[in-house]
């Protein structure tokens, strides 16, 4: 018997082939949820799904037809979607004066428009059932921006805005909409970032990583499963009176 009672729930997790998405899937599986794991990288999503007894699907969150297809196939296979986790995301460190339109669009298309489109494909189903929990992964920089990540921060602020507006719009349908804001989680996303930061700041990769870790009051980075714990709680009925929130999982680095 699991503590959060997610046994009868069907969850779709995007970007689940790596890092935080994989950690979220691991916790939701432990809590008994039936999982569909979607990702641009189907092969790696399959490997994670095989370990967790889940279904893997190819998904490009920047494509409306792909979002529709993933939702339709999930409904065909499992009959419903109780939990949507918008986790797929990309990042890059770029000084603002070097930021071009293509890079702005690349990051905002996945992180902001991708959340809109996946959510848009799921919402009519949740409204009709008058039940559902949508959780999107924003970031601590979706609440307080940092230099060299202006376009990424803007995309994560957009996730908070979408979460707040949609929470109010869907409350009459008993659909809850929340965000989780991670701080510093050493996933594959970080490796090119550390390279870019070391070049942009003239420091080593280790020094760039340590700068972030030194700013964490609890003095340790978060693990992917730490984000999964917050997601699983928000997905459960224990969070039945929580909607429109952006929950920080940052070891105390972000306080509002």
Ligand X SMILES: NC(=O)c1ccc[n+]([C@@H]2O[C@H](COP(=O)([O-])OP(=O)(O)OC[C@H]3O[C@@H](n4cnc5c(N)ncnc54)[C@H](O)[C@@H]3O)[C@@H](O)[C@H]2O)c1
For the annotated catalytic residues, the residue numbers are 152
**C-alpha distance from residue 96 to each of 8, 104, 132, 175 (Å):** 47, 10, 39, 38
**Could you give the CA distance from residue 65 to residue 81 in angstroms, rounded to a whole number?**
18
| Between 132 and 142, CB nearer to ligand X | 142
Radius of gyration, alpha carbons of the chain: 17
Helix, strand, coil shares of the chain, percent, nearest 5, are 50, 15, 30
CB of 248 to ligand X, least distance (A): 10
DSSP category for residue 221: P
250 C-beta neighbours (distance < 10 Å), count: 23
| Between 167 and 227, CB nearer to ligand X | 227
| Residue 78, token pair as written in the block | 């499992």
> What are the counts of helices (DSSP H) followed by strands (DSSP E) for the chain?
9, 7
CB of 228 to ligand X, least distance (A): 11
Distance between terminal CA atoms of the chain?
Answer: 34
What residues line the site for ligand X (CB under 6 A)?
Answer: 14-15, 17-21, 39-41, 59-62, 87-91, 110, 114, 137, 139, 182, 184-185, 187-190
Closest CA to 185 of 44, 52, 18, 32: 18
| Between 25 and 170, CB nearer to ligand X | 25
| Between 90 and 150, CB nearer to ligand X | 90
């Amino acid at each position: 018997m699991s503590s959060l009672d997610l046994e009868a729930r069907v969850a779709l997790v995007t970007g689940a082939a790596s890092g935080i998405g994989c950690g979220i899937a691991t916790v939701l599986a432990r809590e008994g949820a039936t999982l569909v794991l979607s990702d641009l990288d189907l092969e790696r999503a399959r490997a994670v799904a095989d370990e967790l007894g889940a279904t893997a699907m190819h998904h490009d969150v920047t494509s409306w037809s792909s979002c529709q297809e993933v939702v339709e196939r999930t409904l065909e296979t499992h009959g419903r979607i109780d939990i949507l986790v918008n986790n797929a995301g990309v990042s890059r460190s770029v000084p603002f004066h070097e930021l071009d339109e293509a890079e702005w669009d690349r990051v905002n298309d996945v992180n902001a428009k991708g959340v809109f489109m996946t959510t848009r494909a799921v919402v009519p189903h949740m409204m009709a059932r008058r039940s559902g929990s949508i959780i999107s992964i924003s970031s601590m920089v979706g609440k307080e921006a940092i230099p060299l990540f202006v376009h990424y921060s803007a995309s994560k602020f957009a996730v908070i805005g979408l979460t707040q507006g949609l929470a109010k719009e869907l409350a009459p349908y008993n659909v809850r909409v929340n965000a989780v804001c991670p701080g510093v989680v050493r996933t594959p996303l970080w490796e090119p970032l550390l390279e870019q930061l070391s070049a942009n700041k003239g420091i080593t990769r280790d020094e760039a990583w340590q700068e972030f870790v030194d700013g964490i009051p609890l003095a340790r980075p978060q693990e992917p499963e730490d984000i999964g714990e917050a997601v699983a709680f928000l997905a459960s009925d224990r969070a039945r009176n929580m909607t429109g929130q952006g929950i920080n999982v940052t070891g105390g680095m972000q306080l509002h």
